[in-house]
Structure 1
Amino acid sequence: MVMHLTHIQLTYVSQYCFVSFRMDTFPKCSVCHQEFTLKGPVSYLLPCLHAVCETCVTSAAGGVISCSTCQREVNLTDTCLQKDAVRQKEIFHLTVKQRPTELLCTYEDDGNQAVCWCQECEEFLCEYCQNMHSSVKLSRNHAVHNFGDITPKKLENETNCNIHERYPLHLFDKSCNVYICCQCRRGEHADHEVDYLDEAAEGVTQRIEQHRKDLSALLSRQQTHLQSIRQETQLTNRTQDTLRKTIEHTFRSLRSHLDQREKELLIDLESLTRETKATLHAFETSCEDHHARCTDISGYIRKCLLYASKSVLVQLETTVEGMTRTCLETASPETHDVPEAVFNTNGLSKLKSDMSGFGNITTLKEDSEGGTPEDKQTQTDDDYLADLEQKHEMMLSEKDQTCQVALETINRLQTFLIGFPTEGCVHLLKTGVVDRRMVLNCLHLKYDKDRVNLNEVHINTEGDLVNRESDTRPAGEGRLKRYSGTCSTAPLPQGGCPQYWEMKSRVCLDETLIGNLLILEVCVCREEQMDGYCIGGSPRYYSMTVAHCPTHGKICRKTCKEWKYVRCLPDTLPNTAWASHTLHYGVVYDDARKKIVFIDVKENKVISTLHNVDSSQTLWPMFGVYNPDLLTVSMTLVVGSDINMTEEKKAMIVKALS
């Protein structure tokens, strides 16, 4: 099989690509784990930037491929895979460098060992055919490379237009997103915005190079964090050894009277050390997993920069940017806080003094003054241990009182929460304050499949609201019909306390937005207003939308209360085509205070607080994702115990409600 290099042109080579990147390993299929070969099945590129062979693509069960490297599933009915031009070039280069004996002359079917490669003919040549090739007038000036001299740069070959075969593809049509020749430019592409392919590829190269730098910086920080975790683990082990020796030395001085206490403290130390090491191990495992994902993507980016042609670079930019942004946005914390164990020996001197003063040798006179000899003799080791126990209980009295107060508070709180109307997760907004208005109920909401408007949206198998039509069963008779793209949940309970839920939305613009185009909406309204014709255009309707704003000329967050806009915040996300973004918002509904608060969870700030909310009747949460022809939106509900309720978030909610 002869590889057609016209599909795998190389435009960018840099020496740093070889640092920490092994060129001696043949890539493998992420499904069957078979090595790719020059004559084997063609490699295809998955959205996660891993490779799958053509055999696995054609034989995928149910049309779904599961990548064993990152466990991501790809539905082939929704995703069109492209050939992995980067890895095809890599396989060719590795075969030439490491397995040249497998390459036979393709110029004539004589089975001779090939020794060189003709770039123009795309043929392997043996020594005899090389001499013949050089003597023929038509091919004597062709670029022929010996295997030892072949580099990725020398594999580059100019590609001609499929329509105008004599003209090379050296232009890039930004409007059609295709590369064209000069003749195409004079034809149907005459009025389009066109750039030279070299310049377009150079721009993509710079952006992908920036992605590589961002990932390299992240990997460097992760490596530093991993090293810090390992050092903390070693320090924890050394601390354990040091404290063990200290505890053993201390309790040796107390002899048998404190053996039991010694064992208890050693058990406490072992437990604390185990918990500390388990925490550090969890940090390390999480960081290593994310580091491995980032390493895979960074490695593929290096391959792109080494092997990808100009056209492939342009095609790969969106996928590479999306995976890079995912890595950067989901990066694990780069700091950790693990308490260090210490051995508190407060009161040791007094304890030793008490022990040294226990018992004495006196005269009979002194015995008669202080007690009978029989009394003195009856004070056994059991009496002494009882005395020590009494002193120990006195030392812990203050701690016991504190625990008693805490227990009483818990009992009062349990009594207070009896009959509390929630199926979610409850948090105290202020510690120690047993007040229904200070209890935050994280509701367990879920989309109502019988009410979803199926004209432009559906609920997928993961339970997300997606702005795409689906072939799933129709919703019930009570489904929403008028305003396309909406869905509701169950109504909100009237519990007299703040209620909270969150939404995490993944947004990808297919093109730059203009006008007053909606992306997504979150709102609270009465049941009779759920299926209105216009968004935010009803009384007792409280909403936050993300949409393109003609006033600012940007994508803004707008909050609305009963016909009127309350606040408009620009620069919610860049108005850039093919860019992916994650938006994370929270909603607080307090029927007692008559307030609704919209929160940006990622920025950790309040977007807007709506006052004087009419809570006299039951209100319903509403959600919307819109304009499937212009963008892709997938909205996930984050509810109940899945909500990460930090102290900082609690303080922000308390401040917004006060």
Structure 2
Amino acid sequence: MEVYSPGGMDTFPKCSVCHQEFTLKGPVPYLLPCLHAVCEKCVTSAAGGVISCSTCQREVNLTDTSLQKDAVRQKEIFYLTVKQRPTELLCTYEDDGNQAVCWCQECEEFLCQYSQNMHSSVKLFRNHAVHKFGDITHKNLENETNCSIHERYPLDLFDKNCDMCICCQCRRGEHGDHEVDYLDEAAERVTQRIEQHGKDLSALLSRQQTHLQSIRQETQLINRTQDTLRKTIEHTFRSLRSHLDQREKELLIDLESQTRETKATLHAFETSREEHHARCTDISGYIRKCLLYASKSVLLQLENTVEGMTRTCLETASPETHDVPEAVFNTNGLSKLKSDMSGFGNITTLKEDSEGGTPEDKQTQTDDDYLADLEQKHEMELAKLESNIASHNERTEQLQQLTDKLNAEANNMKLELAKLESNIASHSERSERLQHLTDKLNAEANNMKLMLAEKDQTCQVALETINRLQTSLIGFQTEGCVHLLKKRVVDRRMVLNCLHLKYDKDRVNLAEVHINTEGDLVNIGSGTRPAGERRLKKYWGTCSTAPIPRAGCLQYWEMKSRVSVDETLRVYTLILEVGVCREEQRDVCPWLGGSPGSYSMTVSHCPTHGGICRRTRKEGKYVLCLPDTLPNTAGTSHTLHYGVVYDDARKKIVFIDVKENKVISTVDNVDSSQPLWPMFGVYNEPGLTVSMTLVVGSDINMTEEKKAMIVKALSRWWQ
């Protein structure tokens, strides 16, 4: 478990309503849904039963929400008081008013020097953990309480159905049929999940900090650019002040407007990020406090609230990029503008220029200027001619280089011709070598024929073995559906029998599912409710018409399911289930996962990974959870194709993903003392459509890849 440093957490927490600092002897802090704290005084005096958190402006209706005491902050206040204000702590053991110097963890009492000696002299208290104030750490604050009903027994179990901590005596009573886990293991899983929430928020805070720094740097750059452009504009317009005063004002106004909009945009970005950053910082800080001060039971109580606030932060995080246009001042054509302004305004008659050009162009020039332009034009044409001559000389050099290259290639061709003549001379020698190679290939062909004949013989032996095993399998049609997994081995354990399973229509739970005209199991209840003692009433599905045969060889069957997600699925939503169980466990609950004597694989929404996962269970306990089975996206459809291998001889069950061609999970030590029944469940949940088809017998496409996959799953047994 990661240990967080208390840095940045050395100030006493305050009430988010009255802003009064919490003290050890003051009003008790209560935890708001936003993970901020409110004192007991504000809770009892809330106007209209509504509390408004001043930190995040979130309102809480106390009529609809039951607040719990903030055990984390209580431990924090205790720790900070011991470390920073020890002089305020008086002896509570004798109430003698003396200054306390230590604390008994079991008695939860402050002791002065005299009381400490008295406490240690009592035989009942000698083994108590007494800590001096300077030696108290966060670990010393962990003190789990005993059961409020059975006071002698500690709370060492967690009831998942009731979502509460219980003792071993509670387990034997009203919690006997509930799903229970050890408190240490449950708390460890919650700790890992809360730590992951903290890591997610830390990563988000880091990215936000980088983004905020980038925004501030952009603001500084905009300010520097604004100063630079202002100086450039002022310097430029000083030389044109008499002609361009108005233009200068317009450009400055444009610059100010554009800069104002840019800075307003950046300010909005910065404000939004700072608010979200502050909110995430508060929640991240509380998570660190949880990991420092919270007991295991408190961690279990806080998980959903912490997860909800973390998800809110992650989902409301703004994009971490921004696009802000940068202003520039373009001074292209400044010289021409000055020249045009000095000659602009001459008035003359409209007359076409005989020298070329338009009258407007000629009217803005004097004769001297016009001759100067002609001279400049001739100079440009002369420069262009000189450039063309230089280019011509360059092309001449390139042609000369190309000629030299062609001559060199002609010489190479002559050498190649000479070499070819030499090769022709050695042709006879090569012919001899080719003849030798032909003889060698003929010999290898004969060897291949012998190998093919041996393979044909092996195939014949395999066919004979399969025929013998087909006749020996009792009670099932096996024609065309028995496969040998290892060649030349006449052994039942090496044979895979593709079962001819059928849905038991007389046992279908018609209240939740039904079998349609095509023979598929569909997650919609039937309109009819025929009576029958054999019909399943709790399990959402059906079983096979007969249990798995115990013939000493591998038994195999497949299911192909079509799943349509009409709306985003909620947490814990079950989609489908395949597995086996004993006869008496077939109708215990809606699914097999929690039943003893059952082995199953479910496809469901997993709260741990936050998506749709494949989860394997054995005897009511999780074996494996594989994430990313399906995307939890509304309006999507998918086809799932799974296979099940039952190995009675080796006490193993293998679940296979046929579509992905891989093994999902292998369950060992299967209790086969009683017959096991194949079970098939589809779940009638909102926004979900499921249809399951049995693929059995000769309809199963048993490829070599699938055989190899099964052999690999049972690899250590094939040695």
Shorter chain as denominator, the TM-score bin is: 0.5 to 0.7
- 1:218-617 matches, within 5 Å, as 218-357=204-343, 553=576, 575=605
Quick one: which amino acid aligns to residue 37 of structure 1? T
Determine if contact 2:16/2:53 at 8 Å carries over to the other structure. yes
Structure 1 counterpart of 2:73, from 48, 70, 87: 87
CA distance in 2 between partners of 1:104 and 1:151 (Å): 20
Question: Does residue 43 of the first structure (1) align with residue 73 of the second (2)?
Answer: no
Shift of 1:191: 2.3
Which residue matches 1:110? 96
Any idea what the Cα deviations from partners look like across 1:87-140, whole Å, max 9, x if unmatched? 000011111111111111111121111100011111111001111111221212
Any idea what the Cα deviations from partners look like across 1:255-299, whole Å, max 9, x if unmatched? 311111111111111111111111111110011011011111111
Shift of 1:359: 8.9
Which residue matches 1:122? 108
Which residue matches 2:614? none
Which residue matches 1:178? 164
Shift of 1:346: 2.7
Shift of 1:86: 0.2
Determine if contact 2:573/2:605 at 8 Å carries over to the other structure. no
Shift of 1:606: 10
CA distance in 2 between partners of 1:291 and 1:144 (Å): 41
Aligned length: 379
Shift of 1:159: 1.7
Unaligned runs of 5+ in 1: 1-11, 361-378, 380-513, 518-542, 555-572, 582-602, 609-629, 632-658
Change (3 A) 1:224 1:13: closer
CA distance in 1 between partners of 2:343 and 2:569 (Å): 81
CA distance in 2 between partners of 1:328 and 1:547 (Å): 19
Change (3 A) 1:187 1:358: closer
Change (3 A) 1:606 1:110: closer
CA distance in 1 between partners of 2:48 and 2:608 (Å): 29
Determine if contact 1:43/1:53 at 8 Å carries over to the other structure. yes
Which residue matches 1:52? 38
CA distance in 2 between partners of 1:93 and 1:75 (Å): 31
Shift of 1:574: 7.6
Any idea what the Cα deviations from partners look like across 1:500-529, whole Å, max 9, x if unmatched? xxxxxxxxxxxxxx9669xxxxxxxxxxxx
Question: Does residue 18 of the first structure (1) align with residue 6 of the second (2)?
Answer: yes
Any idea what the Cα deviations from partners look like across 1:417-448, whole Å, max 9, x if unmatched? xxxxxxxxxxxxxxxxxxxxxxxxxxxxxxxx
CA distance in 2 between partners of 1:48 and 1:129 (Å): 42
CA distance in 2 between partners of 1:46 and 1:516 (Å): 41
Higher relative contact order (CA 8 A, sep 6+): 1
Determine if contact 2:142/2:294 at 8 Å carries over to the other structure. no
Change (3 A) 1:350 1:304: same
Determine if contact 2:191/2:299 at 8 Å carries over to the other structure. yes
Structure 1 counterpart of 2:58, from 46, 55, 72: 72
Which residue matches 2:184? 198
Structure 1 counterpart of 2:154, from 155, 168, 178: 168
CA distance in 2 between partners of 1:198 and 1:304 (Å): 16
Quick one: which amino acid aligns to residue 575 of structure 1? H
CA distance in 1 between partners of 2:90 and 2:136 (Å): 17
Shift of 1:246: 1.3
CA distance in 1 between partners of 2:634 and 2:17 (Å): 45
CA distance in 1 between partners of 2:256 and 2:607 (Å): 56
Which residue matches 2:481? none
- For the residue of structure 2 that corresponds to 1:341, the secondary structure is coil
Shift of 1:188: 2.3
Change (3 A) 1:551 1:313: closer
Determine if contact 2:15/2:22 at 8 Å carries over to the other structure. yes
Shift of 1:72: 0.6
Determine if contact 2:14/2:37 at 8 Å carries over to the other structure. yes
Shift of 1:231: 0.5
Determine if contact 1:117/1:146 at 8 Å carries over to the other structure. yes
Quick one: which amino acid aligns to residue 18 of structure 1? P
Change (3 A) 1:241 1:547: closer
- 1:145-164 matches, within 5 Å, as 145-164=131-150
Change (3 A) 1:132 1:219: same
Structure with a larger share of its residues in helix: 2
Unaligned runs of 5+ in 2: 347-363, 365-521, 526-564, 578-602, 612-630, 637-684, 687-719
Which residue matches 2:426? none
Q: Which moved more, 1:344-353 or 1:59-68?
A: 344-353
Shift of 1:194: 1.4
Which residue matches 2:124? 138
CA distance in 2 between partners of 1:578 and 1:156 (Å): 26
Question: Does residue 32 of the first structure (1) align with residue 18 of the second (2)?
Answer: yes
Which residue matches 2:624? none
Change (3 A) 1:547 1:150: closer
Shift of 1:579: 11
CA distance in 2 between partners of 1:544 and 1:196 (Å): 38
CA distance in 2 between partners of 1:267 and 1:95 (Å): 59
CA distance in 1 between partners of 2:305 and 2:574 (Å): 32
Shift of 1:546: 5.9
Any idea what the Cα deviations from partners look like across 1:461-484, whole Å, max 9, x if unmatched? xxxxxxxxxxxxxxxxxxxxxxxx
**Matched residues, percent identical?**
82
Shift of 1:358: 5.6
Determine if contact 1:516/1:547 at 8 Å carries over to the other structure. no
Determine if contact 2:106/2:128 at 8 Å carries over to the other structure. yes
**Which is greater in Rg?**
2
CA distance in 2 between partners of 1:60 and 1:579 (Å): 39
Change (3 A) 1:547 1:242: closer
Any idea what the Cα deviations from partners look like across 1:526-578, whole Å, max 9, x if unmatched? xxxxxxxxxxxxxxxxx976678999549xxxxxxxxxxxxxxxxxx983579
CA distance in 2 between partners of 1:331 and 1:344 (Å): 38
Change (3 A) 1:138 1:515: farther
- For the residue of structure 2 that corresponds to 1:17, the secondary structure is coil
CA distance in 2 between partners of 1:50 and 1:185 (Å): 35
CA distance in 2 between partners of 1:208 and 1:39 (Å): 30
Shift of 1:580: 10
Any idea what the Cα deviations from partners look like across 1:386-417, whole Å, max 9, x if unmatched? xxxxxxxxxxxxxxxxxxxxxxxxxxxxxxxx
Determine if contact 1:101/1:113 at 8 Å carries over to the other structure. yes
Shift of 1:163: 2.0
- For the residue of structure 1 that corresponds to 2:5, the secondary structure is helix
CA distance in 2 between partners of 1:229 and 1:550 (Å): 43
Determine if contact 1:172/1:180 at 8 Å carries over to the other structure. yes
CA distance in 2 between partners of 1:240 and 1:247 (Å): 10
RMSD of aligned Cα (Å) = 3.1
Change (3 A) 1:312 1:336: same
Determine if contact 2:141/2:293 at 8 Å carries over to the other structure. no
Any idea what the Cα deviations from partners look like across 1:125-161, whole Å, max 9, x if unmatched? 1001111111221212211100111111112223211
Which residue matches 2:202? 216
CA distance in 2 between partners of 1:126 and 1:294 (Å): 42
Quick one: which amino acid aligns to residue 252 of structure 1? R
Change (3 A) 1:247 1:201: same
Which residue matches 1:612? none
What is the TM-score of this pair, normalised by structure 2? Answer: 0.50
What is the TM-score of this pair, normalised by structure 1? Answer: 0.54
Shift of 1:242: 1.1
